[in-house]
Structures are given as C-alpha cells and as structure tokens.
Amino acid sequence: MSAANRWVGLSLLLSVSLLAGCGSNPPVPDWQVQTHQSVGRATAAELSGHARVAGLEWARAEQQAARSALPDAVARVRLTRCAARRASLDWLPCEGLDGVLPDASGSAQAYARYLGGTGLPGDVTQLPPAQQAVARALAQPGAEPLRWDAASVADPLSRLVAASVLVRAGRADAGVVAQAVDTASAQGWTRPLLAWLTLQRQQAQAAGNTVEAQRLERRLQLLAPSPTQSP
C-alpha cells in the first residue's frame, strides 16, 4: 500500500487509485497492478542507470496500460518515464505523446507542458502538488534565480524533477543544484547524481573555484564504473 501511495504522489501516473483494492472495495484490475509494478521497476532501473532493464520495463508498463485502451493511462506512463529522465537533466522530448495526449486528461496535458518547459499559468493547479510551487513561481515575470527550498518536497524523485525544471528555465541557483546533488547521492541514484555533479562542477569552474571543482571531479571519478556508461 505505501508503494502505491508513493507512486501516485511522486508523478501523475494512472488516474485511478491503486488504493481501491483495500478493505471491502473491489479488487484492483490486473492491468493496473501490472502497470504499477512495471513502472516501479522501470523507474528504479532508470535512476540506477540500467538502460536495458528500464527500456524493457517501460515497454511492459505501456503494454499493460494499453489493455485499457485509455489514452490517459498510456500518456501517464510515458510522462512518468519522461519525468524520470528529467530528474537526470535529460532534455530530450518526451516520447510517444503525440498519439495519446490529445485525448488524455487536462492534468496529463498540463504535466506534459510543465516537463517540456511550456507551462501555462492555468496549469498550476492541475499539476502534482510537489510541482505546483515551482510552476507558480515560474509563471511570474522575472529572470533571476529562484531560491527554492527543496526540503519542502518530501519525495526525492519529485524534488529532482522540480529542480530540473528550474535548471531548464535558467532559474536554479547553486543552492538548488547542491540540494539536487545531495538528494541523488542520498538515494544512490547513479544517473541523476552523475548529471547533477557534472553541473555543479561546471558552476564551480565558471566561478573560478578551482578547489571546489577538483573536489567535485574526484566525486565524479567514484562514479566512473557506473552502469550509466554501459550500452
């Protein structure tokens, strides 16, 4: 039960509640259970840098969601995959949304715009709660870095997604990057940690802080045997 709650709260995922199987409620349909399990395994593999395993599990999740013929269910799986990649500062366009997003819910469409850096002011309330503060701040005029407290977002992956949106908008200060590094490090998430440490080192180099840049390079070297670098 806690895993289901975490999954739903962390990203948009499926519109149905996985808590429906509790107590005297009807059992959760098999396609929902299978989708949930595959998304969990895929996300873990994605963050650990196991690309082949992640690809297989994302494909399984989409296949299970497609059993419902609900565009929203498939869209949310694909958006979850995109969010996991954003956590590693991967800005490639979200895959496979063109065929399902027009028929998906307004919240799924709002999340897609948010991840794509094209959010609208009216999208804020349709986003996951963990993303609303950043979206609301970015909707205000201005170009200065935002002093965002990452600790206000309890879920680690949601925290990295929000931080990545700030980076893409050019509104993340060194404090945001440092908090993202600490988050990825604490979870042992190799792929995000590699990306955020690299960005932090670049910031140190740009500031002329050679000592700090060298310290960060030594941390990066510890990730050298990372599965992120495997085919």
Q: Which residues lie below 8 Å from residue 94, measured CB to CB, with a gap of 6+?
A: 78, 79, 81, 82, 112, 115, 116
pLDDT digits (tens, 9 = 90+) for 204-223: 999 999 999 999 999 999 99
**Angle of helix 106-115 versus helix 129-138 axis, rounded to 10:** 60
pLDDT digits (tens, 9 = 90+) for 155-171: 999 999 999 999 999 99
Asked whether residue 230 carries a pLDDT value surpassing 60, the answer given is no
- Number of DSSP helices (H) and strands (E) in the chain, helices first: 10, 0
Confidence of residue 133 (pLDDT cuts 50, 70, 90): very high
What pLDDT is stored for residue 64 in this prediction? 97
Dihedral sign of CA atoms 26, 32, 37, 39 in order: negative
Tell which residue, 111, 95, 103, has the closest CA to residue 68: 103
Query: Comparing 141 with 54, which gets the higher pLDDT?
Result: 54
What pLDDT is stored for residue 142 in this prediction? 74
Query: Comparing 151 with 209, which gets the higher pLDDT?
Result: 209
CA distances from 31 to 2, 15, 28 (A): 19, 13, 8
Dump the DSSP string for 128-174. Answer: -HHHHHHHHHHTSS--SPB---GGG--SHHHHHHHHHHHHHTT-B-H
Q: How many structural domains compose the chain?
A: 1
What pLDDT is stored for residue 16 in this prediction? 36
Given a contact cutoff of 8 angstroms between Cβ atoms, the answer to whether 40 and 11 are in contact is no
Q: How many CB atoms lie within 10 A of CB 177?
A: 19
Q: Which domain holds residue 125?
A: 2-229
Confidence of residue 24 (pLDDT cuts 50, 70, 90): low
